[in-house]
Amino acid sequence: MIPLRCAFFGLVPYEEATRLQERLVDLVRRGESGDTLLLLTHPPVITLGRGAHAENVVIPDDERERRGIALHEAGRGGDVTYHGPGQLVGYPIVALRNDRRDAHRYLRDLEEGLIGTAGAFGVAASRLPGFTGVWVGDAKLAAIGVRIGTGWVTSHGFALNVGRDLTGFDAIVPCGIHGKAVTSLAQATERDLTPDDVARVAGEQVAAALHYDAVWDDALLATVSGRALSSASVPGGRP
């Protein structure tokens, strides 16, 4: 199988993660880097996809700023979402091969990887007809919003709720879907799980769903950005 370089970077500001993605997309498109999965968490931030409706941010700017929640437009598909430290975010930067150049198939593959991740922790997650993402019953466990650019190179990706604290979601209508709750692996399992507990499993499951072989590369951040990555900068070291 084709290798997929994976690393968990810990807490990374949204703007920096965007720059890392842009750099990797350029390298992959030019054939100077292999396909890659960035796994990380973000400080509190609301992101607006290309289909976002402003009214789905339901708190005023002054309250959002008081709560320390940033706001950024994102180049992905979808509506409004929230990221925070208890959430595992994954950005696959891959050049889709000729036999897999189907955006809907790519979304379903990501869902499959996240369903497998939940299953590894004893959580029965599934798809919900008519909606993108992964669900536990009628509660959303993971959101997906991607961009597929020139050369069928992907960016952006998924956000898997892991920790117990989901209060940040009260600032938005998640993904613009009214009347649906959100949940997390910690809530579903009644365990105090964190993103670094889940990162390696998620990397393996998503890689397999995309028909890759996950290869863990702690030097990946230095390769992409020129900034050294030490085990001290990643909670628990290598995931």
Q: Per-residue pLDDT tens for 36-88?
A: 999 999 999 999 988 888 899 999 999 999 999 999 989 898 889 999 999 99
Looking at the chain, which runs of residues are DSSP E strands?
Answer: 2-11, 36-41, 45-48, 70-73, 80-83, 87-93, 126-128, 131-136, 139-148, 154-161, 181-182, 212-216
Given 153, 175, 177, 209, which residue is catalytic?
175
The answer to whether position 105 is within a domain reads: yes
The CATH code of the domain that includes 46 is 3.30.930.10
Q: List the one residue out of 8, 182, 177, 137 whose CA is nearest residue 126.
A: 137
pLDDT in tens, 194-223: 999 999 999 999 999 999 999 999 778 666
Place of tokens 């990797």: 24
| Residue 25 maps to a domain | yes
Task: Give a yes or no: residue 238 inside a domain.
Answer: no
Number of domains the chain is built from:
1
Asked if the structure places residue 225 within a domain, the reply is yes
Dump pLDDT digits (tens) for 92-108: 999 999 999 999 999 99
CA distance 193 to 121: 10
Q: Which domain holds residue 196?
A: 2-233
Residue 34 covered by a domain: yes
- Residue 6 annotated in active site: no
What is the rounded distance in angstroms from the CA atom of residue 199 to the CA atom of residue 201? 6
Q: Does 21 reside within a domain?
A: yes
Phi and psi (nearest 5°) for 48? -110, 115
Q: Is residue 191 part of a domain?
A: yes
Domain-embedded: residue 239: no
